[in-house]
Structure 1
Amino acid sequence: MTGYADDLALAHRLADAADAVSTARFRALDLRVDAKPDLTPVSDADTAVEREIRALLATHRPGDGLLGEEYGEQPAPGPDGRRWVVDPIDGTKNFIRGVPVWATLIALLEGDRPVAGLVSAPALGRRWWAALGEGAYAGRDLASGTPIRVSGVTGLTDASFCYSSLTGWEETGRLEAVLQIMRDAWRSRAYGDFYGYMLLAEGALDVMVEPELSLWDIAALVPIVTEAGGTFTDLAGRPAPGDAASGEISAIATNGPLHADILDRLGRATAR
């Protein structure tokens, strides 16, 4: 194995363990759901998945750092700057309502740069993964993966536009810009969370945007989109995840040819 192959193989092992935990709790009658300080929901599946991943990384990558949505950063990044970033269940609101569109997101960063990522959506029976310079793939598991590629659409009037929700864009003062994109696009849908980005990487849609994210929401998605041939920046045009240290993370992901137009429309909009 060369490059990040060992890391991707480990990411699949982590995903196998995560899937076993999350699928056992999906639609469970005794699922426990609490509210975090920011009032977003967290289920016992979220915390159990992250604990399982943390235990495996402590065994197989004890020198690497780790950041998880539910338990924070511990320990600090290792001397070479490597750290894993984990969202145990992306799409918790879907999960707790029995909607099968949710996934475990696993990323490896070197410094601030995501170099490998895996998204596992067991209720959909599908995974997506990529590593820097090694292409992007999708399938049920590592052995069955096939290469994926973004679309070749060049104009917004032919493009399928995806977004997370409109309320976040309203809060940034960019709602009218998003609505105009929706009017000009061939089609618009709000698939939300990880799924829009994965459909983009597969060429099933052409643009995915979100105004406000955390590092664990985005880190695993970046290598998959970019290795599939797409472009991924923040609203300021910086390569994703942008200025993660500031905590202000946003996303514009496109197939490439559409990026300048979308970035111009959203980046020039005046925030409140």
Structure 2
Amino acid sequence: MTTYTLQSDLQLARQLADMADVISMDRFRAADLDVSMKPDMTHVTDADKAVEAAIRGALHDSRPDDSVLGEEAGEEAGSDGSHRQWIVDPIDGTANYVRGVPVWASLISLAIDGVPAVGVVSAPALGKRWWGATGLGAFVDESLGSPTTTSERRIHVSRVADIADASMSCSGLIRWEQAGKLKEFLSLARRVWRTRDYGDMWPYMMVAEGLVDIAGEFDLKPWDMAALVPIVQEAGGRFSSVAGEPGPWHGSAIATNGLLHDAVLDAVR
């Protein structure tokens, strides 16, 4: 089995994001966009399917031993004993994509032994891309799609240490209610300085950039979270489930600047 460096895996993930952006932007706001509903009553478009198929094809050629887990086509096993899994959400925020709202992204991650080690979040309609890998830092490019300029920079979470001074973006009020946590959510919301729901992947990337201090939600799948984890953590933050469990495997997420994490978990538990 071939051994790869995280640097080469990150480079590949960014190349996959380049490919995804071309496909997704070509279909964004297209008059003939094909939209249907999945059994879980979420949208899927021809763009979702095309992006994931293209990424899977590229991974089959470049990382044939690795397994792949994607939102649209499920899990594809790699070679026996492979401890590397690519986790793909071809378009996170498909409901926004369908309505023409530019807050959506392709999420690409590599988990090693179940721990996300590489993450790329590419939001071409916003002109932004974030990425990170264990030990390699977290970065943003705010000139995505520009042929003449680049604005890559390293990012870091905020230093806000008091919940009363915190900006919070916890999405899906109904999901907090369905999880039996509405009382806790509202109590926390009353304690922070500011609450806004920016939606989908964006609040977590704002945490990584130091623009928001707390983000979280329920009813998530691994492909919704895996790419976010290394970016938030490499920016100096923390990422867990609402119960404090590490990783993207537990159906919920809390991301903070780290300084606030224990206090937030205590509040929502």
Band the TM-score falls in, shorter-chain normalisation: over 0.9
Mapped to 2, the partners of 1:259 and 1:75 lie a distance apart of 35
1:154-186 per-residue CA deviation (whole Å, 9 max, x = no partner) reads 111110000111000000111011111111111
Mapped to 1, the partners of 2:95 and 2:203 lie a distance apart of 16
Mapped to 2, the partners of 1:123 and 1:112 lie a distance apart of 30
Tell me by how many angstroms 1:254 deviates. Answer: 0.4
Aligned-partner SS, 1:260 = helix
Mapped to 1, the partners of 2:80 and 2:72 lie a distance apart of 20
Q: Quick one: which amino acid aligns to residue 126 of structure 2?
A: L
Contact 2:64/2:78, CA 8 A, preserved across alignment: no
Contact 1:8/1:116, CA 8 A, preserved across alignment: yes
Percent of pairs with identical residues: 52
1:21-54 per-residue CA deviation (whole Å, 9 max, x = no partner) reads 0000000000010000111110111001001101
Aligned-partner SS, 2:39 = coil
Q: Quick one: which amino acid aligns to residue 32 of structure 2?
A: D
Aligned-partner SS, 1:176 = helix
Contact 2:122/2:130, CA 8 A, preserved across alignment: yes
Q: For residue 170 of structure 1, what is the aligned residue in structure 2?
A: 177
Aligned-partner SS, 2:110 = strand
Tell me by how many angstroms 1:212 deviates. Answer: 2.0
Q: 1:149 to 1:78 in 2, by over 3 A?
A: farther
Q: 1:41 to 1:77 in 2, by over 3 A?
A: farther
Mapped to 2, the partners of 1:120 and 1:207 lie a distance apart of 21
Q: Moved runs in structure 1, 4+ residues, more than 2 A?
A: 75-80
Superposition pairs of residues 216-255 of structure 1, within 5 angstroms: 216-241=223-248, 244=249, 248-255=250-257
Contact 1:153/1:257, CA 8 A, preserved across alignment: yes
1:207-244 per-residue CA deviation (whole Å, 9 max, x = no partner) reads 00112210000000000000000011112212122xx2
2:34 aligned to which of 17, 32, 35? 32
Point out where structure 1 has 5 or more consecutive residues left out of the alignment. 268-272
Contact 2:139/2:153, CA 8 A, preserved across alignment: yes
1:199 aligned to which of 206, 226, 230? 206
Mapped to 2, the partners of 1:220 and 1:101 lie a distance apart of 16
The TM-score, its normalising length taken from structure 1, stands at 0.93
Superposition pairs of residues 1-272 of structure 1, within 5 angstroms: 3-76=5-78, 79-139=81-141, 140=143, 144-241=151-248, 244=249, 248-267=250-269
1:37-82 per-residue CA deviation (whole Å, 9 max, x = no partner) reads 1111101110010011011111111111101100001124652400
Mapped to 2, the partners of 1:215 and 1:78 lie a distance apart of 22
Q: Quick one: which amino acid aligns to residue 119 of structure 2?
A: G
Contact 1:196/1:208, CA 8 A, preserved across alignment: yes
Point out where structure 2 has 5 or more consecutive residues left out of the alignment. 145-149
Tell me by how many angstroms 1:144 deviates. Answer: 4.7
Q: 1:78 to 1:115 in 2, by over 3 A?
A: farther
Aligned-partner SS, 2:242 = coil
Q: Quick one: which amino acid aligns to residue 115 of structure 1?
A: A
Q: Quick one: which amino acid aligns to residue 241 of structure 2?
A: D
For these two proteins, the number of residue pairs brought into alignment is 260
The TM-score, its normalising length taken from structure 2, stands at 0.94
Contact 1:64/1:84, CA 8 A, preserved across alignment: yes
